[in-house]
Amino acid sequence: AQSVTQPDIHITVSEGASLELRCNYSYGATPYLFWYVQSPGQGLQLLLKYFSGDTLVQGIKGFEAEFKRSQSSFNLRKPSVHWSDAAEYFCAVGAGLTLGRLYFGRGTQLTVWP
Amino acid sequence: KAGVTQTPRYLIKTRGQQVTLSCSPISGHRSVSWYQQTPGQGLQFLFEYFSETQRNKGNFPGRFSGRQFSNSRSEMNVSTLELGDSALYLCASSLWDRVRGSSYNEQFFGPGTRLTVL
């Protein structure tokens, strides 16, 4: 069965510092991987996705993620964090190309210090 | 294009009542999925509808049900509400487009309905 682990519940970084949020997945076939961001009281916004091809994917708001099959990881990175990036970040794996079902990690809460 | 809309945004009910939540997908999207988000359990999949048919279901009791209309709009219903049903209910829509490389996995979420059960 599919599952996603986000080892870090809460991360605090200073504005301007680099960021890496970790995500490990469990899936028997080629995974369809996503990162979403959620601001307080809001729904989920898609940051980026990986289906196939280049293992380094670019997303919105300056985020990127790297798929590493050997490590079953899909870590999210940003070279310089802005105060507006403070939010909760969710990693998710899809159930299959034709199924509208995602398995989510428990999320990582990001705090940004000025 | 307008995004996914959900109504109402906030709802307060008492135990034993029932509630209906509504979701309008992005125009052209035919798949609608529902999720429950709670601090204790995180984001959990409820069910997915495509072409008015439920084709995928999560591990929730029968008190949770849904339906989809011919215009792809969807509703979910929770009967005999319990305190533990208090949550943010999120709706997401998606489409499969080989040319764009998108799939039903690529889901676009609405703002959610915050349900409080007293």
Q: Is A59 on the interface with B (CB under 8 A)?
A: no
Statement: residue B102 has pLDDT above 60: no
Average pLDDT value over all residues in chain B: 92
- What pLDDT score does A22 carry? 98
Could you give the count of Cα atoms lying within 13 Å of B18 in the half-sphere of its Cβ? Answer: 12
**Residue A72 bridge partners (DSSP):** none
Q: What is the pLDDT of residue A79?
A: 97
Which pLDDT score is estimated for B63?
97
**Residue in B closest to A107 by C-alpha:** B42
3-state class (DSSP) for residue A112 = strand
Chain A partners within 8 Å of B92 (Cβ): 44, 100, 102
Sign for the pseudo-dihedral over CA of A98, B103, A68, A6: negative
Mean local confidence (pLDDT), B107-118: 96
C-alpha count within 13 angstroms, C-beta hemisphere, residue A31: 29
Lowest average pLDDT, out of A13-27, A51-65, B102-116, goes to: B102-116
Task: Please tell me the predicted confidence (pLDDT) of residue A104.
Answer: 96
State yes or no: pLDDT of B12 exceeds 80: yes
Q: A55's torsion region: left (phi>0), alpha (psi -120 to 50) or beta?
A: alpha
Instruction: Compute the nearest-CA separation of A25 from chain B (Å).
Output: 15
Could B32 and A51 be called an inter-chain contact, meaning their C-beta atoms sit closer than 8 Å? no
Phi first, then psi, for residue A113 (nearest 5°) are -90, 140
Give the range among A93-97, A107-111, B17-21 with minimum mean pLDDT: A93-97
Size of interface A-B (CB pairs under 8 A): 78
| Inter-chain CB proximity B96 and A98 less than 8 Å | yes
Cβ-based contacts of A96 with chain B (< 8 Å): 105
Cα angle value A44/A46/A52 (rounded, 5°): 140
Residue A25 has pLDDT above 70, yes or no: yes
